[in-house]
Amino acid sequence: MALWNFGPFKDIREMNNALAGAGGEAIVKLKIAEALLGKRIILLPVSEGGMNLKTTDINRLIETLGVKSLACAQ
Q: What band does 23 get if pLDDT is binned at 50, 70 and 90? A: confident
- CA 45-47-41 angle, 5° bins: 30
Computed over every residue of the chain, the mean pLDDT equals 78
Average pLDDT over residues 37-47: 80
**Single pTM value for the model:** 0.46
pLDDT of residue 70: 64
Q: Residue 19: count other Cβ atoms within 10 Å of its Cβ.
A: 16
Q: What band does 36 get if pLDDT is binned at 50, 70 and 90? A: very high
3-state SS, the chain, equals: CCCCCCCCCCCHHHHHHHHHCCCHHHHHHHHHHHHHCCCCCCCCCCCCCCCCCCCCCHHHHHHHHHHHHHHHHC
Q: What band does 38 get if pLDDT is binned at 50, 70 and 90? A: very high
